[in-house]
Structure 1
């Protein structure tokens, strides 16, 4: 297939570049950071340049567009004017959907588990109440709505917390946690927020498998099997690496005055599994991750 990847230099995008390029023809997009895009057929432009965006998608003759690019977390979104966040996360998504409709390309849109209400219980399915509490999550949900208003040839993935080691400039919470513990430094970890963590390379593998499925017009929870807090993830790292668990300091979002209180967006992934897409066990993923990076 011919696959266009937006945000190809991002945390997930770089893993998608490496995984999807093995058996497909990819064109990967970046804006500020090049990441590993230089190793692949790539192009640099801003997603709000809609003339260029449409021209590129049409000329490449994409079969699939995987739209990962965004102002990509709650803290980052608040550093930009809200109008710009809306432009990139909502209007650019709408434009991509419109062009995909014109060229008969499937759109795989990376949304977030943070669109859900975080106080309605655990292991939420796709019909659960939606109450995003940050500008980031709100605009990701609005992107979902724009896609559904535009056409039917889409898969919306409500992505869980990604863990692993970012490539090049990209990084994530898991990586910071590992580095602090490796240096024998204490680290505060939330004990009262629950997610369904998914390892980066496993996420790329699962998206690759989705490409082979005849799925359209679907919203899928996209995460791991387990309901875990960040503190519990820290315990797993300590156990697998032999780090001192006393370095883990249990805290809460309220104690840290965290502005985006979301207690539980752990995901029911039965619908995802019904399509034969099965995430790996999180502890086994972490073991494999550490071994592949020669960290054990």
Structure 2
């Protein structure tokens, strides 16, 4: 089997390639040097030449607030490029794994979203990712759509690194406590994506580490595990106005994994222990 992974320099793409190699699966991780997602012909030509059996599409425009001003660029990357990748997957009869987001949902209430629940993105980023989902579903039969949230990995920026850096120069931090979701460790997610790539259990899935928390809870656990003494104060989202609306409810049901026979990811606290070890904390 040959696998092409987009977004190799990102948090998830990096760990997906690392996991594939650990399983001795032939793979290539692409960056903008190989092809730009907005250069359709170059992208399709590269894929046709490599002829992968699976494309794991990790690359995305993820600057959520910036996307409110850069609508066209965000759409070109998250929607149009995904559509073109799906087209070339169809052409060469390859499976596609498309990484999506909790932001496709309205983000209200307290219920756990099921994959088929009503979609109502509250920002540009979420809408472009949903439109990418729809394009994949319209073009392909052999696809996995995997919605994730609150991602952290070794290769890139994330909430954990931000908290640890802020703690170096502050003795008090304020963190929002009214946005509830689940962190996702890219090392754990990469294993699941590789399992999916080896299967034909196509469909839409939710995949985060087990358990829920607020960003405030997450921050407190980070400092507890890292052995850092710092005063963390919970505040509402209104204390940190952002250009793009953030969901208050990012709870996503993982029953879909159980039904397909895939293993759920470990608890987010366990993932945090291993991640801090990876960072040599």
Q: Flag whether TM exceeds 0.5 (same fold).
A: yes
- Picking from 165, 170, 173, the partner of 1:179 is 165
- Counterpart secondary structure, 2:239: coil
Q: Are the counterparts in 1 of residues 97 and 197 from structure 2 also a CA contact under 8 Å?
A: no
- Picking from 40, 64, 70, the partner of 2:60 is 70
User: Structure 1 residue 201 and structure 2 residue 187: aligned?
Assistant: yes
| More moved, 60-69 vs 195-204 | 195-204
Distance in 2, matches of 1:256 and 1:48, equals 33
1:179 CA displacement: 2.2
**Counterpart in 2 of 1:162?**
151
Q: Are the counterparts in 1 of residues 160 and 222 from structure 2 also a CA contact under 8 Å?
A: no
User: Structure 1 residue 232 and structure 2 residue 197: aligned?
Assistant: no
Structure 2 alignment gaps of length 5 or more = none
1:127 CA displacement: 2.1
After superposition, the C-alpha distances for 1:109-162 in whole angstroms (9 at most, x for unaligned) are 001011111113232111222111111110000000111111211000111211
Q: Give the number of equivalent residue pairs.
A: 278
Q: How does 1:29-178 map to 2 (within 5 A)?
A: 29-31=30-32, 43-78=33-68, 80=70, 82-165=71-154, 167=155, 170-178=156-164
| More moved, 148-157 vs 17-26 | 17-26
Distance in 2, matches of 1:2 and 1:76, equals 35
User: Structure 1 residue 221 and structure 2 residue 221: aligned?
Assistant: no
Distance in 1, matches of 2:7 and 2:278, equals 25
1:78 CA displacement: 3.3
CA RMSD after TM alignment? 1.6
TM-score, normalising length: structure 1: 0.89
After superposition, the C-alpha distances for 1:74-93 in whole angstroms (9 at most, x for unaligned) are 1242353x222211111111
Q: Are the counterparts in 2 of residues 180 and 186 from structure 1 also a CA contact under 8 Å?
A: no
Distance in 2, matches of 1:107 and 1:200, equals 18
- Counterpart secondary structure, 1:254: helix
TM-score, normalising length: structure 2: 0.93
Q: Are the counterparts in 2 of residues 8 and 29 from structure 1 also a CA contact under 8 Å?
A: yes
Distance in 2, matches of 1:210 and 1:151, equals 16
**Counterpart in 1 of 2:241?**
257
Distance in 1, matches of 2:111 and 2:153, equals 24
| More moved, 2-11 vs 237-246 | 237-246
1:261–1:51 distance in 2 versus 1, CA, 3 Å: closer
| More moved, 220-229 vs 207-216 | 207-216
Q: Are the counterparts in 2 of residues 225 and 281 from structure 1 also a CA contact under 8 Å?
A: yes
Q: Are the counterparts in 2 of residues 47 and 53 from structure 1 also a CA contact under 8 Å?
A: yes
**Counterpart in 2 of 1:244?**
229
The higher relative CO (CA closer than 8 Å, separation ≥ 6) is in 2
1:205–1:183 distance in 2 versus 1, CA, 3 Å: farther
